[in-house]
Chains A and B, each alone.
Chain A
Amino acid sequence: MKKDIILKAENVSKQYRLGQVGTGTLSHDLNRWWHQVRGKENPYLKIGDVNDRSTKGNSDYVWALQDINFEVERGEVLGIIGKNGAGKSTLLKILSKVTAPTTGSIKSRGRIASLLEVGTGFHSEMTGRENIYLNGAILGMTKKEITSKLDEIIEFSGCERYVDTPVKRYSSGMTVRLAFAVAAFLEPEILVVDEVLAVGDAEFQKKAIGKMQDISKGQGRTVLFVSHNMAAVKSLCTKGIVLEHGKVVFEGDQNESVDFYLKRSESRSEINLIDRKDRLGNGKLKVKSVELLNHNLQELNEVISGEMLIIKVTFVKYQEIDYRKMKVAINFQDENEGFILSFINDEMDYSFNNLENQDYFYLKIPNLYLRAANYSLRIMLSETDTHHNNFIDVIEKVIDVNVLPGDIWKTGIINRKGHSAIIPGEFI
C-alpha cells in the first residue's frame, strides 16, 4: 500500500544573522541586493556556522536548521525532540508559516493550525466570550464554527461563571484554561503543538493530555508535537525525530527516539574520577567511573522518573581487599546535599563475592521513583573490621542524575517536579 504522506519537508534550512541590526546590516543588504541584481546567488548563504551556542563561531550567520527532511503520514503523531537550541522552535515556526525557510520547502496536503502558545491575541479588556471568538478566529476558525462549539469550549475551560467578565480579572490559570479550551476545539488536518501541555494544574493537565490523545488517536488527526517532556512524547507520539544543532540526528519510533535523545543529550565531559582529589578514604580502591544505563545497558544521560535505572560503578584496585566485607553506599542527594535515597548493600543483605575477577558492579533500580529534578550521586566504599568502619573511597557529587518528569502512578498525570521520592500509597 502506498503511504499517505500528508506533510513533507525537503531540505529545509534556516539561517539567522547574529548580533544587532545596524549599519552592518545595511551594507550586507546592499551587497545581497547587488548580487541579486546581477543574477548571482546570495553571498551570505554560503557561509554560516553550525548552531552551537556554547562555542564561539567565526561567522555572523548561523544555521538554525540545516537540510531537514522528513515525512509525516496521515494520522501520525510525530514527536520532535531535542535540547534547547537544537532548532525545534525554528522548525515549528516554519511549519506554522510564521517565518519562511531560507532554502528548501515544506509541502502539505492539509490545513495546518499551530499552537505555539495558548491565548495568542487575547485582549485583556475583552470578556472571555469575546476572546474565545477572537482567539478562535486567529487560530483559523470561522465565526460559525466557534458558535457551534461555544458551549463545549466554555464547559471544557471550566470558566462558565466568568465568561462575560473581562479577561484581565481572570487568574493566570483561568486564562490558560480558557485559551487551551479554544485550541482544543480546533479541527485542522494537521496540528502543530509546542509545549502547551506544561500549563495549568494537574487536573487540567490530565484533561489536556486526554484531549490531545483524543485528537490524535480518536479523530485520526495528524499532530506534530514538540516537547521536553519525554513521558508525554512516549505516551502521545507514534514516531519521533531528534534534532541536534539544527540537524535531524535520529528518526524512528517514539521510544527509540526518546532513548536516543536521552543517550545523546548533554554529552557530559568525561571526567576521569581517578583524577578527583576531593575524596576521602584509604585509597585501596578508587572509583574510576560511574555510568547511568537503561534496561538494555545503554548509556543514559537523563532518566525518566519511574523508569529503570542501572548504575554501573567501575573502580581501580590498588590493593586487594576482602570484597565480601566491603560496604557500598550509593546516595541520591538534592542540591542541599540532603539524602533523598540511599542504597546500602548490607541492609539489602548483599555481599560482593565476585569482585576478585572483575572491577565493576551494578546497582539496578527497577523503578526510579524520584520526582523530576537534578540529583547528585554520592558513593562510599568502606571496609569493616571488627571495630571500625574504614573508608576506602568516598566521593561526593560523583555524577549528576537528571530525572525528567514521568507518570509514576500511571494515571496520565505527569508528576510534579521537586527533589523528593515518591513511594507507593493510596488514598482510601
Chain B
Amino acid sequence: MNHNNVSNDWLFEITPKNKFFSLNLKEVWQYRDLLFLFVKRDVITVYKQTVLGPLWYLIQPLFTAITFTIIFNNVAGINTGTVPPFLFNLAGITIWNYFTACLNGTSDTFKANANIFGKVYFPRIITPLSVVISNLIKFGIQFLIFVVFYIFYYFQGVNLTLNFSLLFFPVLIAVMGILGLGLGMLISSMVTKYRDFSNLLGFGIQLLMYLSAVMYPMELIKDKLPKLGWLVEYNPLAYVIETSRYMLLNIGEISVLGLSYTFLFTVAIFFTGVLIFNKTEKSFIDTV
C-alpha cells in the first residue's frame, strides 16, 4: 500500500447520510453468494415439517381459481369468451400472486430482519432482492400448473392459440417483480417508523386485486362502469395482467399506451423505492 498520500486514500467512509442516490451494484455483486443463499434458505425452509411440502405452492392458486370461477363466472356471469373461465382465472391469479408475494415479502424487510440487520452489515437490498427471486421460483412452479391445465384444455378441444407476443412474457413478469419490489421497498421503509402502513397494506392488497382486472377482462369494466373505469385504467397492474392474458390465451388486447404507462410507472416506483430504501437503511435500526 502506498502511504505517501495518506490523507485521501480511504477505502470507504461511514457518514450520517448516503449520497442522494446510491444503488451500489458493485457491492451487491460482491454479495451475490449471500443473495443465492438467502434464496436457497427461503425456498427450502418454507415447507419443512409439512406433509404436502411444495404442493402447498399449487393448492392455493388452484382453490382460488375454483372459487373465482364459481363466484364470478357461474354466479355473477362474467363472460370470458372462448377461453374456459377456470383457465382465465388461473392465469390472472398466478400472475397476481407473484406481485403480492413480492410486495408482501419485501414490505416487511426491515421489520422482519431487524435482528440480522442490527448485528451485521451487508447491502440491505440483498434481502428484498432475494424475496423477489425466491418468489420467482414459486411463480415458476405455479406457472407449470397453469401449463398443465392449458394442455389439458387444449386436448379437450378448446380453441386455444398462442401468439408471438408470448416471447415478451418474461419481460412482463420482470415488470411485475420490479413493481412489487419497488413498492415493497417503499412500504418497508415507512413501516420502520410508522407501523400504520403494514395495516394499510393488508387490506390494500385485497382491494387492489379488484382493481387489477384479475377476474374480469378490462373491456368489461369499461362497459359496465364507465364512471369508475378510470380506476382500473390508471392501475398499471391491470395492464400487466390484461397483457399477460393476451400473451397466454390470446384474448383481450394489448394497449401500447397502457403498457408504456406501466413501464414508466414501474421505473419511477423502483427508483423511488431504492431512494427511500437507501435513506432508511442507514439508521432504521434506531426506530424499528
Contact = CB atoms under 8 A, between A and B. Distances in A.
B120 A108 contact: no
A258 B285 CA distance: 31
Contacts of B34: 137-138
B48 interface: yes
Given A100-B282, A105-B13, A107-B10, A126 B120 contact: no
Interface in A1-17: 2, 4-5, 16-17
A126 B45 contact: yes
Nearest to A109: B11
Interface string A86-106: 000000011111111111111
B9 A109 contact: yes
Interface string B12-24: 1111110000000
B6 A5 contact: yes
Contacts of A106: 13-14
Nearest to A146: B33
A108 B11 contact: yes
A96 B11 contact: no
A110 interface: yes
A139 B34 CA distance: 9
B226 to A, nearest CB: 40
Contact of B121 (A97, A103, A108, A142): A97
Contacts of A140: 31, 122
A138 B122 contact: yes
B45 A120 contact: no
B248 to A, nearest CB: 35
A95 B119 CA distance: 11
A384 interface: no
A139 B120 contact: yes
A21 B16 contact: no
Interface residues of B, number: 40
Most A CB atoms within 10 A — which of B1, B11, B117, B287? Answer: B11
Given A98-B120, A111-B11, A126-B45, A25 B37 contact: no
A4 B45 contact: no
A83 interface: no
B3 A4 contact: yes
Contacts, number: 111
B14 A100 contact: yes
A166 to B, nearest CB: 8
A195 interface: no
B231 interface: no
Contacts of B285: 93, 98-99
Contacts of A418: none
A74 B204 CA distance: 53
Contact of B120 (A96, A103, A109): A96
A4 B122 CA distance: 27
A133 interface: yes
Nearest to A104: B16
Contact of B48 (A109, A125, A134): A125
B116 A99 contact: no
A120 B120 contact: yes
Given A139-B120, A143-B33, A95 B14 contact: yes
B193 A21 contact: yes
A100 B17 CA distance: 7
A160 interface: no
Contacts of A32: none
B45 A123 contact: yes
A278 to B, nearest CB: 47
A138 B14 contact: no
Contacts of A102: 16
Given A25-B193, A126-B41, A137-B34, A99 B13 contact: no
Contacts of A96: 119-121
Interface in A36-92: none
Most A CB atoms within 10 A — which of B41, B48, B286? Answer: B286
Contacts of A139: 120
Nearest to A131: B41
B165 interface: no
B44 interface: yes
A121 interface: yes
Contacts of A322: none
A108 B16 contact: no
B13 A98 contact: no
A204 B12 CA distance: 35
Contacts of B31: 137, 140
A109 B11 CA distance: 5
A116 B121 contact: no
A98 B116 CA distance: 10
A121 B45 contact: no
Contacts of B121: 96-98, 112, 114
Most A CB atoms within 10 A — which of B33, B115, B118, B120? Answer: B120
A357 B9 CA distance: 66
Nearest to A142: B33
Contacts of B13: 105-108
B169 to A, nearest CB: 32
A134 B14 contact: no
8 contacts: A2-B6, A95-B14, A98-B120, A98-B121, A120-B120, A123-B45, A126-B44, A140-B31
Given A25-B193, A137-B33, 12 more contacts: A97-B121, A99-B282, A100-B16, A103-B16, A109-B11, A120-B116, A121-B116, A126-B44, A134-B37, A138-B34, A139-B120, A143-B33
